[in-house]
Amino acid sequence: MPSLFSKKKQSDAKELEGNQGPAPLCPIQNSDVLRRVELLDSFEQAGLGWFWATDAVGRVIYISESAARSLELKAEHIIGQPFTDLFSTDTSSDDEKPERPLAFLLGARNSIVQLPVKLVSNKTEYWWEIAGKPQYDAEGEFTGYRGSAKDISSTIEERRDAERLSQFDSLTGLANRHRMTKRLEKTLESYRNSKRSCALMMLDLDRFKNVNDTLGHPAGDELLRQVAARLKTIIDKKGEIGRIGGDEFQILLPDIDDRGVLGDLGQRLIQMVSQPYSIDGARAIIGTSVGIAIAPYDGLDAEELVAAADMALYAAKGGGRGQHRFYHSDLKDGAKERRRIEEDLRDAVAAEELEMHYQPIVDSKTHQVACLEALMRWNHEDRGWVSPGAFIPVAEDLGIIVEMGEWALNQVCKDVCGWPGELKAAVNVSAVQFARDDFPDVVGRALEKSGVDPARIELEITESVFVGDLERTIRIFKELKELGVRLSLDDFGTGYSSLSYLRDAPFDKIKIDQSFVRGSTEEDNNNSSLVGAIVSLANALDMVTVAEGVETKDELALVKKLGATYIQGRIFSWAVSNQELHEKFDIGDLVFEPKGPEKYRAERRTEFRRIGLIHEDHRYQVMLRNLSKSGAKIEGLLDVPVGTEVVIDLGEGQLVVSIVRRSQGFSQGVEFETQLISDGADGLCTRHRVSPYQIEAAGRPLQALTNDAYSQLVGNQGQTTKMFAEVDITNVRNRA
């Protein structure tokens, strides 16, 4: 196709030949025109830029041949098409501020300056930068556009790559902290206007540092990549995942506020992340904890929601790890408590506030104590007893668990020397302790210093010690056995057990985790089969077994029937001090009789806290005595008829439609219309809550939920006469 400029050259030549019209150009003028035309032709042919032109109605009347070739088209196929049909409706690059659409600019007959436009040809994306000016004839009539273009596809791709590097983690390919923060801010801002919800999950890997320490940082990097791949598999298109630093991850989940769905997803993430990893031939086992917060219930802006999810994660880690937790306002007090623990724990050993207590492990046939598990207790001088579940995870995070573990080992060896006969003690060994190459030397020094018979000391070791170099682990086991101590595999079955552990490691005992014992007597529960299988496996390997966490007589009968060698649990005794043990030993009493409930009752928690009960338009104060997924026992209202429909207000917008099934005096038993769900720890919560958007619609300012969300919702409405009399339970109980 001849160019516009070639046509101009032909016209000029005719004028030079003497055709009628304006006076012919002088030779100098003619040579300037020819040079200009040649220059433009060479510019086109070199691909440095292209030219285009349209008629008055916007149809293409000219386009450079090289431009058409870049689109894998022929120029004649483009001529006559509307110019705007060449381009996508998206007329700005992904990382540029949106421009006015090309059709608008052409329709308004505006000049076009460096406008990036996207073209799609044969499913291939191209980017051009175009410029153009409207043209008018001598009478001022619009005749079309004349313009230029150049290919900026590579520039756009480079810009995208740079943007991608600034927004995505180079190691895992996940969004980085910057991108997640921006996404969260924009999402929450948009969702406030459209009254939508959004969940945020915070994940932190458990025992990741141990992988770095034992296998090296390259192995740690590979582990992070594998974790990211697993997270992508589960989340898929439900949300966006980010690595916000180190071994911390964040997941943004739009339009989810059902805590049942989120809890199930959290557990799936925990289970998937906790499965073993293969890294350069080594086997690594880690875990994760998950904190969950939901907007607008737990926070309105990004900073508030991240703080809430982080606090929930903090609680999950403090509760024993491998858990999910939902945010609630009480966690603020928990965070303060943890900070106090961190401040005081370092001084606890020096101040002799730590003590070793001992829980009996009894023979399943005779109930005579055969071994005692040593459990660390902290008697704080100001706050009294601090739960091990609260301070042990803190000790691990602070890195002082090794010092505390060494103190415990020395104290236990010393205590055992004063026990009768061949009575043994079992000492828990943290994975951090075991990872130290000098651990066998620490054990040897404790044995030598105390003079205890090594055969009376059992070291309880969890599967997490197999996280790194298996050959090293087996070597440490060998060195420990040479010292004469016994080895016990603790919490068997909870860490994706491998039979190779039992084949290669010289264990003397397998402890069956209490999670298998709990609920094993219920119908349609497979735990009893699992307990039986573990017992059979141990017998085949000439090992003894301990059933942990036995609390009821039906559980006791079952584990005996299944053949467990030893039994441990509250049905025989809590952990007691060494002094209390001596009082029993001094009278020659080595037998513990079972004391406990006859049957296991699932998911019923003893409570003692004030809650609300709503009947018609009144909210009464009542005392919650116990709570299960399906109902509760309450006290505080007199003579409520059976069949009365009420709403139980558990706080923070948790309203449960209920019906009174039992009523006697000031005590009632209520059944829930919709069952509660696990909060990830030992508590229960509702799937749904009163929405802050509902409260806003009632004329209140939009804010995260408070503990008394119901009052925010209903305000000071006129009330009818109360139907029931309230009773001060505290006074009633005191008089009793």
207-225 tens-digit pLDDT:
888 788 778 899 999 999 9
Query: Kind and range of the H or E element at 656?
Result: strand 655-664
How far apart, in whole angstroms, are the C-alpha atoms of residue 458 and residue 508? 9
The answer to whether residues 193 and 306 belong to one domain is yes
* Single residue among 556, 585, 614 that ends a domain in this structure: 585
The answer to whether residues 530 and 616 belong to one domain is no
Q: What pLDDT does 28 receive?
A: 53
Least confident residue range of 297-311, 503-517, 566-580: 503-517
Q: How far is CA 598 from the centre of its chain?
A: 39
Per the domain annotation, does 21 fall within a domain?
no
Q: What pLDDT does 734 receive?
A: 45
The answer to whether residues 111 and 139 belong to one domain is yes
Mean pLDDT of the 404-422 span: 95
Least confident residue range of 318-322, 464-468, 607-611: 464-468
Per the domain annotation, does 30 fall within a domain?
no
- At 366, is the secondary structure helix, strand, or coil? coil
Percentage of the chain with pLDDT > 70? 87
The answer to whether residues 574 and 612 belong to one domain is no
Q: What pLDDT does 242 receive?
A: 97
Which CATH number do you get for residue 696? Answer: 2.40.10
Of the pLDDT bands very low, low, confident and very high (cuts 50, 70, 90), residue 497 is low
Which CATH number do you get for residue 119? Answer: 3.30.450.20
Mean pLDDT of the 334-353 span: 81
With 90 as the cut, is the pLDDT of residue 468 above it? Answer: no
Of the pLDDT bands very low, low, confident and very high (cuts 50, 70, 90), residue 17 is very low
Q: What pLDDT does 14 receive?
A: 41
Q: What pLDDT does 9 receive?
A: 39
Which CATH number do you get for residue 258? Answer: 3.30.70.270
With 80 as the cut, is the pLDDT of residue 164 above it? Answer: no
With 80 as the cut, is the pLDDT of residue 241 above it? Answer: yes
Per the domain annotation, does 8 fall within a domain?
no
Least confident residue range of 97-106, 472-481, 626-635: 97-106
Return the residue matching tokens 């109980």: 733
* Single residue among 159, 184, 200 that ends a domain in this structure: 159
Higher pLDDT among residues 135 and 284, named by residue: 135
How far apart, in whole angstroms, are the C-alpha atoms of residue 99 and residue 104? 10
Mean pLDDT of the 153-177 span: 85
Which tokens go with 110?
A: 């505006």
Which CATH number do you get for residue 388? Answer: 3.20.20.450
Higher pLDDT among residues 141 and 337, named by residue: 141
Per the domain annotation, does 23 fall within a domain?
no
Per the domain annotation, does 17 fall within a domain?
no
The answer to whether residues 152 and 222 belong to one domain is no
With 90 as the cut, is the pLDDT of residue 623 above it? Answer: yes
Q: What pLDDT does 521 receive?
A: 85
Domain count within the chain: 4
Least confident residue range of 35-49, 155-169, 182-196, 496-510: 35-49
With 60 as the cut, is the pLDDT of residue 7 above it? Answer: no
Per the domain annotation, does 19 fall within a domain?
no
Mean pLDDT of the 115-131 span: 83
Q: What pLDDT does 12 receive?
A: 40
- Over residues 244-272, the pLDDT tens digits come to 999 999 999 999 999 999 999 999 999 99
Per the domain annotation, does 16 fall within a domain?
no
For helices 527-540 and 553-561, angle between their N-to-C axes, nearest 10 degrees: 40
Residue 106 dihedral angles phi and psi, to the nearest 5°: -70, -40
The answer to whether residues 624 and 718 belong to one domain is yes
The answer to whether residues 476 and 567 belong to one domain is yes
The conformational region for residue 398 under phi > 0 = left, psi -120 to 50 = alpha, else beta, is alpha
How far apart, in whole angstroms, are the C-alpha atoms of residue 417 and residue 422? 10
The answer to whether residues 255 and 109 belong to one domain is no
- 247: how many CB neighbours lie within 10 A of its CB? 20
Per the domain annotation, does 15 fall within a domain?
no
With 50 as the cut, is the pLDDT of residue 37 above it? Answer: yes
Q: What pLDDT does 95 receive?
A: 45
The answer to whether residues 275 and 386 belong to one domain is no
Q: What pLDDT does 30 receive?
A: 61
Of the pLDDT bands very low, low, confident and very high (cuts 50, 70, 90), residue 607 is confident
Q: What pLDDT does 4 receive?
A: 43
Model pTM greater than 0.75? no
The answer to whether residues 316 and 277 belong to one domain is yes
Mean pLDDT of the 560-584 span: 95
Q: What pLDDT does 284 receive?
A: 84
Higher pLDDT among residues 605 and 639, named by residue: 639
- 708: how many CB neighbours lie within 10 A of its CB? 14
Of the pLDDT bands very low, low, confident and very high (cuts 50, 70, 90), residue 200 is very high
* Single residue among 159, 176, 191 that ends a domain in this structure: 159
Mean pLDDT of the 137-157 span: 90
The answer to whether residues 580 and 704 belong to one domain is no
Residue 103 dihedral angles phi and psi, to the nearest 5°: -60, -35
- At 569, is the secondary structure helix, strand, or coil? coil
Q: What pLDDT does 45 receive?
A: 64
Range of the domain at 692: 605-735
The answer to whether residues 577 and 610 belong to one domain is no
- 230: how many CB neighbours lie within 10 A of its CB? 14
Q: Mean pLDDT across the chain, nearest whole number?
A: 86
Q: What pLDDT does 101 receive?
A: 77
| 728 Cβ contact list (under 8 Å, min separation 6) | none
With 90 as the cut, is the pLDDT of residue 539 above it? Answer: yes
For CA atoms 402, 404, 408, 414, the dihedral sign is positive
687 vs 198, 258, 326, 630, 676, CA distance in Å? 15, 5, 11, 13, 7
With 50 as the cut, is the pLDDT of residue 82 above it? Answer: yes
Mean pLDDT of the 581-588 span: 91
Radius of gyration, CA atoms only, the chain: 38
Percentage of the chain with pLDDT > 90? 53
